[in-house]
Structure 1
């Protein structure tokens, strides 16, 4: 860790994760890296600055995590009764959207239709709560 000494940075072996991003070869070297004399096993998925990155950069775990946190926040809006649509929308915009949208410019490009379904469910739940519609109302009607 020559760079550590030159830059003045410090690394803790307990807090260090190793992940390989192979270019073409799907076989990944599972040899542990040594950090301050301690072996650190490579992982398939690590959390870096709040984004869960996997070795194939598909972001499946992060998409599921963001959608579950967003749905949890959207369901909290149901607890508030008697809010005007403007207030409910402001709460949705201030609490739910940042939860789902965090670092989306990093991971959204890798999302396919199947992965984006849970994120759309968050949007549908929020739209239903803002407008106050029944569960059977079409998403396009609730969003309009």
Structure 2
């Protein structure tokens, strides 16, 4: 960053100075509890941290995405609370419009970059235990269930699969599958001139 022809030289030549206080330093290590050394950039020292938000995704030093799951859970709860406000029994919005609001606004909001921090649930051959982001998906499924109850107007004791069928909305694990598949198809359809094309081809092989 501070070498000749690096980012700092580019920022000076383009009159676009970096805001050092927004920089974050993550030292990724699977087993070490130490945050690692700090980074000195000219006269500013970037201190290591256990998590940092980058392009809307909270990364942590172990890449477990626990921080981002908690962030998505809080964000989804806020969206459901807003839906509850507009779906009052009197003078509230219609159920069909509430479904559009949830699927068109809330889901893209709290499941942004789901293909990054969630792994779809799978049963591996010869095993009975589910693999993937089981805990995170179960937590986020609570938000999904609350939204289904509001959209359908059903009782709170109604089974989740019945709610999904009546609302014509995919069950939450299948919704995650759909989002991840959409991202995978988008990556596979990149032109060869795209910077990520060779990395996608390498991952596919």
Please, what TM-score do these two structures have when normalized by structure 2? 0.63
Of 127, 131, 134, the residue aligned with 2:148 is 127
Task: Return closer, same or farther for 1:25/1:114 CA change in 2, 3 Å cut-off.
Answer: closer
Query: Matches of 2:10 and 2:34 in 1, distance apart?
Result: 29
Alignment of 1:101-120 (within 5 A): 101-109=111-119, 112-120=133-141
Q: Does 1:4 align with 2:11?
A: no
Q: Is the 8 A contact 1:71 1:125 kept in 2?
A: no
What's the offset of the Cα at 1:65? 0.7
Of 1, 6, 24, the residue aligned with 1:17 is 24
RMSD: 2.1
Structure 1 unaligned spans of 5+: none
Query: Matches of 1:29 and 1:64 in 2, distance apart?
Result: 21
Q: Does 1:71 align with 2:77?
A: yes
Of 72, 87, 112, the residue aligned with 2:97 is 87
Q: Is the 8 A contact 1:71 1:121 kept in 2?
A: no
Q: Does 1:42 align with 2:48?
A: yes
What's the CA shift string for 1:67-93, capped at 9, x where partnerless?
111121112211222433211101111
Please, what TM-score do these two structures have when normalized by structure 1? 0.87
Structure 2 unaligned spans of 5+: 121-131, 166-205
The higher relative CO (CA closer than 8 Å, separation ≥ 6) is in 1
Query: Matches of 2:110 and 2:83 in 1, distance apart?
Result: 15
Q: Does 1:56 align with 2:62?
A: yes
Query: Matches of 2:59 and 2:101 in 1, distance apart?
Result: 29
Task: Return closer, same or farther for 1:29/1:122 CA change in 2, 3 Å cut-off.
Answer: closer
Matched length: 143
What's the CA shift string for 1:81-124, capped at 9, x where partnerless?
24332111011112210112211121112862112222101110
